[in-house]
Chain A
Amino acid sequence: MHDVVIIGGGPAGLSASIYAARGGLKTLLCEEKLMGGQIVLSYEVENYPGFPNGISGMELIENFTKQAEKFGVETSYEGAKSIEDDRECKSVYLTNGSCIKTKTIIIAAGASANKLGCPGEKKFTGKGVSYCATCDGAFFRNKTVAVIGGGDSAIEEALYLTNLVKKVYIIHRRDRLRAIKILQDRAMENKKIEFIFNTIVKEIQGDKLVNGILLENRKTKNMDRLAVDGVFIYVGNTPNTKFIEDLIKLDENGYIFTNENMETNIDGIFAAGDIRVTPLRQVITSAADGAIAASAAQKYIESKL
């Protein structure tokens, strides 16, 4: 039997695995698709302490992963389909049909990027529609692109794209950005960026590849076509809590309620990172959550001896 199964290999799960394994717990980390989670998509992380010159999300996660390996964390690329609580023996059912028995579980499955949900989005994914500027920016050299969204991710990625493309339109449904001021200022000063506020995307159009978007002004209801070669979508996230919603108490948006020890409503099941109700969703807060969850899991196991 494992001491702890950690579901999700982003900053929260990796940090939890480092603390758990270093603490001597038999630890399994399950990540079903992208070790590192959403931060791997980031070109640069500027605000994680210890890296004064910034570090790419990918390099930061490679460091996290190496550290986890050093302490003997076992990893699996199977996802969790469901979990069951039988007090001291919990079960994690994996996508390959196997069942892992464990004393504790840390849910760190994070959140996934939202889709726009307009016609053309699915059809042109990988044909001009992208959710990762770092990955795909190079395919749009000297072209015109639109970034959809007004939060930190949208603005950071728009700024990154200006290094490669001819022009970036930032299209936002509100009349002002949600991103922090330092990013807003940089974007306002950037000559390649043009803002289109109060506007939503009605359709992504193209032939084989994207060649334009149909926009609607939310105030005037005027429709306009904008010629672009690429559309980068950053319109928020949804927590990956579907697989546990019957067992774990969630808020109205699907985030997990925890206390300050990262305990959920079920004894021995903890949550960490973007998946829980928290005022800030950053690498540093996820890593801190992971550390607290692993330490709480260890105390829980010791209390049952």
Chain B
Amino acid sequence: MSEIQLTEDNWEKEVLNSDIPVLIDFWAPWCGPCRMVAPIVSEIAEEYKGKLKVGKLNTDEEPGIAVRYGIMSIPTLMIFKNGTVADQIIGAVPKEYFIQKLEQIID
């Protein structure tokens, strides 16, 4: 598994100060669609290794970050570039759609 577990402690280092874009999967264990989206996120993490960092944020364990970024629906996938939100995807979407969004953001 090449995804990073994100918390308040590593958020700044791994997300805000990352040299490469970061895709963050906001999820929770009781969210069925989140669990089903996870394999697609893992595939993306593999395919974009080195060009994209992929992180998971459990909204149950880290409600502070979820609130700060206005998360009201999961799965939400946010793409950070240079420390700010470059794009976001709400709900389960086809992998192709992820890739389209990522291709616009990744150099």
A residues bordering B, Cβ < 8 Å?
32-36, 40-42, 56-58, 61-62, 77-79, 95-96, 125-128, 130-132, 134-136, 138-139, 208-209, 230
Expressed in whole angstroms, the Cα–Cα distance for A35 and B42 within the complex equals: 14
B8 to chain A, nearest CB (A): 19
**Residues on A with beta carbons closer than 8 Å to the beta carbon of B40:** 33, 77
What are some 11 contacts across the A-B interface (CB < 8 A)? A32-B95, A41-B32, A61-B32, A77-B39, A95-B95, A95-B96, A132-B31, A134-B30, A134-B31, A135-B75, A139-B71
Given A125-B73, A130-B73, A230-B72, 6 more pairs with CB closer than 8 A: A34-B33, A34-B36, A36-B36, A56-B30, A57-B32, A126-B91
> Which 5 residue pairs of A and B lie closest in terms of their CB atoms, listed nearest first?
A58-B32, A126-B90, A40-B32, A126-B73, A34-B92
Contacts of B88 in A (CB 8 A): 126
Do B35 and A96 touch across chains, with their CB atoms under 8 A apart? Answer: no
Residues of the B chain whose Cβ atoms lie less than 8 Å from the Cβ of A96:
96
Chain B residue with the shortest CB-CB distance to A81? B96
**How many A-B pairs fall under 8 Å by CB?**
94
Known: A79-B94, A126-B91. A35 touches B70 (CB 8 A): no
List, in ascending order, chain B residues with CB within 8 A of A126's CB.
71-73, 76, 88, 90-91
Contacts known (A32-B94, A126-B73); A61 close to B36, Cβ less than 8 A: yes
Q: In the complex, which of the residues A33, A58, A209 contacts B35, with contact meaning CB atoms closer than 8 Å?
A: A58
B99 to chain A, nearest CB (A): 9
Residues of A with C-beta under 8 A to B39: 35, 77
CB neighbours (8 Å) of A33 from chain B are: 37, 40, 92-95
Q: Which residues of the partner chain B approach A41 to less than 8 Å between Cβ atoms?
A: 32-33
- Cβ A135 vs Cβ B32 within 8 A: yes
A209 and B28 contacting across the interface, CB-CB below 8 Å: no
Give every chain B residue within 8 A of A139 (Cβ-Cβ). 71-73
Most buried by B among A33, A42, A62: A33
CB pair B70–A208 under 8 Å, yes or no, is: yes
What's the nearest-Cβ distance from chain A to residue B16, in Å?
Answer: 22
Q: How far is the CA of A24 from the CA of B33 in the complex (A)?
A: 30
Distance, CA A7 to CA B91, complexed state (A): 21
Q: In the complex, what's the smallest C-beta–C-beta distance from B65 to chain A, in angstroms?
A: 13
- Give chain B nearest CB distance to A148 CB in angstroms: 16
Which B59-107 residues sit within 8 Å CB-CB of chain A? 59-60, 70-76, 88, 90-96
Please give, as numbers and ranges, the residues of chain B lying within 8 Å of A138 by CB-CB distance: 28, 30, 59-60
B74: chain A residues at CB < 8 Å are 135-136
Asked if residues B95 and A62 are in contact (CB atoms below 8 Å), the reply is no
The answer, yes or no, to whether B6 is at the interface (CB within 8 Å) is no
Instruction: Report whether A131 and B36 are in contact in the complex, using a CB–CB cutoff of 8 Å.
Output: no
**Is B34 close to A, CB under 8 A?**
yes
A-side contacts of B72, CB under 8 Å: 126-128, 130, 136, 139, 209, 230
How far, in whole Å, are A32 and B36 apart by their CA atoms in the complex? 11
What is the CB-to-nearest-CB distance from B61 to chain A, in angstroms, rounded to a whole number? 13
